[in-house]
Amino acid sequence: MTRSADRHILQFCHGYDGPFLDCARQYASLFAGTGYKVTTVFLTGVADPEVAAGCASDEVLFMEFSSKAIRGLKLGAIGKLRKIAASRNFSFCIAHRFKPIYIALLGTRLPVIGVHHAFGDYQRRSRKLFAGIFRKRLSLLGVSDAVRDDMRRCLLAWPTARIQTLYNRIDVEAMQASQVPVHEARAALGLSPGEWVVGNVGRLHPDKDQATLLKGFALALP
């Protein structure tokens, strides 16, 4: 396999479900105009041209592993990523969520920026030990200050500068261009012009705890 001479960034994602495709797009777009080419690799999920087109990446690769196949030691994924890393001139890796971080550290010699989207990822002793072993190559980002602080509490021996926050972002102009006027939106949703609307934006996941929100709405309704 011929090694590319271009400078590349490896972005390694667990999958493209829910908000994670947009997260991949956000991080890839950071390198537009910098001279780096972004290769985004998805660990799970079937190859999808629409997903590839939505990544804002120069190259998109699909490993197509099932969730069952990446339990345990993940040797197949480690070997496959090792081949990808050897074929391109990668400067570093951005890995989203713990399994991609684990595979990237074992499958490559690249510096890895691990992006965490939820609480509790380093509460297990085994994960604390793993992160400590690779501390020279691993830096960590939380998508909120709360996630960052949770990691700092779990990894007390780490310098705080190695665990930072990088918020998720939106392209405000693109988002505004896709919106419709308020009166059209209300008509489409069957809402009267003066009716109050209280909503929740978030994926349906235990981390978001919509159950508590619904209980709060029920108490507030009277």
Mean pLDDT of 166-195: 89
Tokens of 68: 């069952």
Q: Write the CB contacts of 137 (distance below 8 Å, at least 6 apart in sequence).
A: 105, 109, 110, 111, 112
Q: Which helix (H) or strand (E) holds 165?
A: strand 163-165
Give residue 122's identity as a one-letter amino acid code.
Answer: Y
Q: 168 pLDDT exceeds 80? A: yes
Structural domain boundaries in the chain: 7-165, 180-220
Percent of residues, the chain, with pLDDT higher than 90: 80
The one-character DSSP state at 160 is G
The β-bridge relationship of strands 7-13 and 89-96 is: parallel
Name the CATH topology of 7-165.
Answer: Rossmann fold (3.40.50)
pLDDT tens digits for range 191-220: 998 888 888 888 788 878 999 999 999 999
